[in-house]
């Protein structure tokens, strides 16, 4: 094949590596999330297709289709498998998005979802009437070469010579530099969004800031018909249940919104809803459970990505209360004279009396993340973060000029704020005697501190007024030069040991290279006793895993092992707060995890200021939240631990 020979010669000239690539072993590259569009030299921009991510491998009469987690998709999309098999090459791995297009040529996710649920090979008539299309945007392997180390532009150069770009296999369109223009066009067409990609980026597994997705969002007004309460407390809520009026009368349930709230808004909204309780929902089709139902009187404005086929909101985010609008005026856009907005709601950059400054200042130069982006990040995570901050002495780590500028720690209230912010006088002895620590109890306070250049927030393990009684015991798993796989193995061993001694355990990323394991103590021990508990746990773990774990503090003495640090427990010792951004390349975030996520595929770099807010929109509850209130039977746990020590 002349084309085949020419491509091989071109790949050799580009410096591609000769190596076989197993498509089943490929971990796809994933885009981080960015809130606003941008234009930038050295970047290319593509449409974000509303479909399923797919790897297509084969050629020369054979084909494999794999979803991004490795599950086979060839039976579901046989027409695509046939198209890949017909390509005149022996070995290809294509990365793309499979969609089903509607009559106007736009992706129809509902049709695609119905096809994805059909696992049997029947239904050829449906495939003929609504064939799937694979929009290919990357080429990972070709004719015995591994293309992943090459720049994106080089991979795309070869891709355009491999794909015929008609029929069921098409090369995804792109434009250089002008991301804002493409975003405006996509907005007008009603599509999902765009993806920006650094033109010289290699193909890396997992999330990367070299690829950034920007979704198109819309907003509208909805009546609140109920809320999900916070477990084990009568304060606040986890999510609001929303509805719109039907044109012919009655209500239509559209789902819930659980993110976007500021701390003070949660309290105010909850107090108003509490007075509107009713025994049953106004909609018979509303979900059953532990929800509290209310009279449909409150109206909220919500940003969302799109409506699903069954009339639910996709990707909702709370924007504001609408006291100027009656619930009876809330219709789905396009019904009863309402018109869907043509542009997303303008980003809000003020909160109450906070006067923000220098929002365009770049805080992470490598990623182009600004101070304004950081403000919006903390606004988004505030409802999840505030329970961990409330009533705890706080130490700020301030970076007024971003992560490459000068920085300093600050324990006392920043100048000019002591009259506005709640503080507590703490006497820890020595140089800390008499310091007035800040307490962060609201979203407004949090954003005011961010406006002062605070990036991470460090907190005590105890709360006022019981500062001598910590809520948790921590084991800091610090790898330094050790493989991260050893951190995973030790974290699993922590959980196994805690299960043996009937002590609950929780886990979060540190925002660096390690993990933090937290065990609730419920204020039953003082700081010294908690540190002793941590040292005992660490001793058992090192005895069980001597080849990879150590309690040696100096890096040289660790000999390449993971340091299990029990000394982070003690009066005045600090923990980087859950959901804190870290002043490191990639803008990582200390992120609570479910234990099911702690496996060999865990990549702590995937959790950053771009990816965490959408992660929280998907979560039903915070996996770390119970650490604040659990009171385990520590006497029983200590007895069981003593048995293992002996």
Catalytic site positions:
48
Residues with Cβ < 8 Å from 5, sequence gap 6 or more?
none
Rg (CA), the chain: 27
Contact 259, 318 (CB under 8 A): yes
Given the structure tokens 């994106």, which residue do they identify? 152
Contact 261, 382 (CB under 8 A): yes
Q: Nearest 10 degrees: CA dihedral of 385, 570, 602, 239?
A: -20
How do 251-257 and 515-520 pair as beta strands? unpaired
Question: Cβ of 551: how many Cβ atoms within 10 Å?
Answer: 17
Q: Nearest 10 degrees: CA dihedral of 463, 235, 291, 618?
A: -50
Residues with Cβ < 8 Å from 426, sequence gap 6 or more?
393, 432, 435, 436, 437, 467
**Helix (H), strand (E) at residue 558:** helix 555-558
Tell me the C-alpha distance between 162 and 10, whole Å.
12
**Helix (H), strand (E) at residue 491:** helix 484-500
Q: Is 467 exposed, middle or buried (0-12, 13-18, 19+ CB in 10 A)?
A: buried
DSSP strand E in 199-236: where?
Answer: 206-215, 218-229
Given the structure tokens 């975003």, which residue do they identify? 183
Residues in the chain: 646
CA distances from 348 to 35, 37, 277 (A): 12, 15, 31
DSSP SS3 for 48: strand
**Helix (H), strand (E) at residue 184:** helix 179-189
Q: Nearest 10 degrees: CA dihedral of 135, 138, 143, 147?
A: 180
How do 394-398 and 408-410 pair as beta strands? antiparallel
Given the structure tokens 């409506």, which residue do they identify? 307
Q: CA-based angle 538:544:549, to the nearest 5?
A: 55
495 is written with which tokens?
A: 């959980």
């Amino acid at each position: 094949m002349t084309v085949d020979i020419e491509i091989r010669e071109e790949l050799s000239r580009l410096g591609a590596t000769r190596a076989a690539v197993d498509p089943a072993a490929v971990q796809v590259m994933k885009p981080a999330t960015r809130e606003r569009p941008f234009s930038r030299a050295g970047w290319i921009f593509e449409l974000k297709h509303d479909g399923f991510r797919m790897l297509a491998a084969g050629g020369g009469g054979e084909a494999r289709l794999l979803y991004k987690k490795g599950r086979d998709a060839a039976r579901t999309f046989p027409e695509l498998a046939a198209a890949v098999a017909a390509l005149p090459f022996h070995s290809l791995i294509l990365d793309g998005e499979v969609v089903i297009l509607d009559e106007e040529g736009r992706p129809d996710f509902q049709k695609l979802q119905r096809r994805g649920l059909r696992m049997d090979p029947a239904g050829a008539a449906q495939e003929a009437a609504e064939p799937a299309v694979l929009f290919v945007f990357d080429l990972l392997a070709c004719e015995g070469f591994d293309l992943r180390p090459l720049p994106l532009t080089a991979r795309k150069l070869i891709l355009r010579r491999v794909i015929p770009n008609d029929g069921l296999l098409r090369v995804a369109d792109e434009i250089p530099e002008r991301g804002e223009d493409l975003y405006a066009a996509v907005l007008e067409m009603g599509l999902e969004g765009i993806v920006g990609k650094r033109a010289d980026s290699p193909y890396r597994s997992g999330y990367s800031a070299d690829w950034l997705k920007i979704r198109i969002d819309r907003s509208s007004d909805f009546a609140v018909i109920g809320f999900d309460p916070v477990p084990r407390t009568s304060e606040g809520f986890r999510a609001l249940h929303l509805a719109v009026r039907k044109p012919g009368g009655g209500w239509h349930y559209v789902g819930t919104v659980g993110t976007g709230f500021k701390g003070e808004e949660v309290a105010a909204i909850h107090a108003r809803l509490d007075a509107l309780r009713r025994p049953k929902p106004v909609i018979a089709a509303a979900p059953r459970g532990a929800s509290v139902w209310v009279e449909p009187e409150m109206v909220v404005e919500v940003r969302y990505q799109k409506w699903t086929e069954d009339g639910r909101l996709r990707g909702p985010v709370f924007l504001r209360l609408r006291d100027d609008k009656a619930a009876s005026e809330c219709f789905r856009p396009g019904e009863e004279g309402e018109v869907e907005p043509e542009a997303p709601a303008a980003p809000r950059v003020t909160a109450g009396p906070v006067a923000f400054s220098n929002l365009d200042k770049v805080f992470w130069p490598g990623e182009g993340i600004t101070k304004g982006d950081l403000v919006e990040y903390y606004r988004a995570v505030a409802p999840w973060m505030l329970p961990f901050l409330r009533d705890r002495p706080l130490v700020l780590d301030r970076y007024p000029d971003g992560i490459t500028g000068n920085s300093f720690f600050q324990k006392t209230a920043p100048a000019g704020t002591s009259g506005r912010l709640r503080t507590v006088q703490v006497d820890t002895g020595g140089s800390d005697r008499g310091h007035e620590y800040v307490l962060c109890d609201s979203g407004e306070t949090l954003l005011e501190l961010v406006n002062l250049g605070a990036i991470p927030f460090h907190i005590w393990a105890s709360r006022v007024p019981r500062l001598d009684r910590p809520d948790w015991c921590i084991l800091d798993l610090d790898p330094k030069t050790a493989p991260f796989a050893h951190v995973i193995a030790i974290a699993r061993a922590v959980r196994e040991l805690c299960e043996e001694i009937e002590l609950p355990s929780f886990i979060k990323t540190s925002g660096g290279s390690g993990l933090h394991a937290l065990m609730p103590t419920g204020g039953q021990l003082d700081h010294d006793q908690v540190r002793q508990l941590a040292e005992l746990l660490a001793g058992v773990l090192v005895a069980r895993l001597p080849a990879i774990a150590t309690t040696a503090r100096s890096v040289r003495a660790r000999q390449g092992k993971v340091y299990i640090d029990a000394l982070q427990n003690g009066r005045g010792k600090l923990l980087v707060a859950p959901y804190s951004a870290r002043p490191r390349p990639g803008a990582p975030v200390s992120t609570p995890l479910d234990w099911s996520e702690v496996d060999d595929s865990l990549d702590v770099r995937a959790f950053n200021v771009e990816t965490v807010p959408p992660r929280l929109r998907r979560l039903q509850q915070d996996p770390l939240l119970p650490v604040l209130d659990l009171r385990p039977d520590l006497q029983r746990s200590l007895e069981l631990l003593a048995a293992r020590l002996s």
